[in-house]
Amino acid sequence: MRFDSTLALLWGEDDKPVGRTGLTIADFIAAAIAILDEHGAAGLSMRAVAARLGVRTMATYTFGNKEELVALAVDRIYRDLYPGGEQLEGLDWRRGLTAVAHANRDLGLAHPWLYELQVVRSLMGPCELQKRDHELVPLESTPLADAEKDQVLTQLLLHVEGMTRMETMLRRERDATGLDDSQWWQAIMPTLMPVVDRRRFPLSSRVGLAAQAARQGRFWGEEAFEFGLDRLLDGIGVLIDRRRAMDHLA
């Protein structure tokens, strides 16, 4: 990736026409997002973007390449996550981080391609940077050091990403098989039960059956997300209390 040109696109104006088509960079971004929402990451190509906009494929290269278009699309999808930026103001750290987690989960489920295309070493476009600025607000009143605030937010978003990926995969499997969870269990249990020796797998059998009963045959989805989120927030609370105690003793 050409970092300089990508950064220039991320931070430049996107409402000016590029090339001879009269289309703007914003038009290309909107087309890319529409394709990603309809066909997923595998469906995105410069040819597909061109077809959607009704121009020749070469016209899509007037501003950049596919990698740069992906970076623009990922950044743009963050733009309206916190419209106005006021949703997290005035919330204590736990309520604020809970709102952050749910906002990101909703975004990931609405745009399943997002976690496939975002990169760890992001170039941080304006929308992503503004998103992170908003998400750090609930931690600003805590006694955590800045580096700890960064780690806390990162761990929270990693939990959201992992659980959202799992839920997305589960939805795809349901669509591909045409079976909901209870139908899936009904299909495999006659074959599975005769070969599962509870004496050989005592803990897996006992715990697995208890979990299946608790979730009434469904695979963990939102429940697992909430359980993990609560445990993560509990741990963050311990860290915050520890820092407060240290500050009191200082």
For residue 91, give the CATH number of its domain: 1.10.357.10
| pLDDT at residue 219 in the model | 78
Instruction: Find the length of the chain.
Output: 250
Do 156 and 103 belong together in one domain?
yes
**Residue range 88-103: average pLDDT?**
95
Model confidence pLDDT, tens digit, residues 99-113: 999 999 999 999 999
Do 71 and 20 belong together in one domain?
yes
Percent with pLDDT over 70 in the chain: 99
Do 125 and 171 belong together in one domain?
yes
Kindly state the tokens that stand for 127: 């929308």
| pLDDT at residue 72 in the model | 96
Establish if 93 belongs to a structural domain.
yes
> What number of other Cβ atoms are within 10 A of residue 53's Cβ?
17
| pLDDT at residue 247 in the model | 81
Do 46 and 158 belong together in one domain?
no
- At 85, the pLDDT band (50, 70, 90 cuts) reads confident
Do 33 and 96 belong together in one domain?
no
| Domain span holding position 9 | 3-77
Establish if 104 belongs to a structural domain.
yes
Do 16 and 135 belong together in one domain?
no
* Residue where a domain terminates, one of 61, 77, 93: 77
Kindly state the tokens that stand for 119: 């990169």
Q: Could you give the 3-state DSSP secondary structure of residue 215?
A: coil
- At 87, the pLDDT band (50, 70, 90 cuts) reads confident
Counting the structural domains of the chain, the total is 2
Do 109 and 23 belong together in one domain?
no
Q: Could you give the 3-state DSSP secondary structure of residue 27?
A: helix
Model confidence pLDDT, tens digit, residues 128-158: 999 999 999 999 999 999 999 999 999 999 9
Pick the range with the lowest mean pLDDT from 83-87, 125-129, 139-143: 83-87
**Residue 213 burial by CB count (10 A; 0-12/13-18/19+): exposed, middle or buried?**
exposed
Pick the range with the lowest mean pLDDT from 52-56, 213-217, 237-241: 213-217
Do 228 and 139 belong together in one domain?
yes
Establish if 70 belongs to a structural domain.
yes
| pLDDT at residue 2 in the model | 63
Supply the pTM of this predicted model.
Answer: 0.90
Alpha-helical regions (H) of 138-221: 146-177, 181-195, 202-214
Tell me the residue type at 122: S
Establish if 200 belongs to a structural domain.
no
More confident residue, 206 or 107: 107
Percent with pLDDT over 90 in the chain: 63
Alpha-carbon gap, residue 243 to 5, rounded angstroms: 43
Do 132 and 171 belong together in one domain?
yes
Do 43 and 146 belong together in one domain?
no
Do 140 and 160 belong together in one domain?
yes
Q: Residue 17's beta-bridge partner residues?
A: 24
Contacts 24+ apart (CB under 8 A), 154-159: 155/232, 156/97, 156/100, 156/101, 156/229, 156/232, 157/100, 157/104, 159/101, 159/225, 159/228, 159/229, 159/232
Establish if 156 belongs to a structural domain.
yes
Do 150 and 235 belong together in one domain?
yes
Establish if 212 belongs to a structural domain.
no
According to DSSP, residue 87 is labeled T
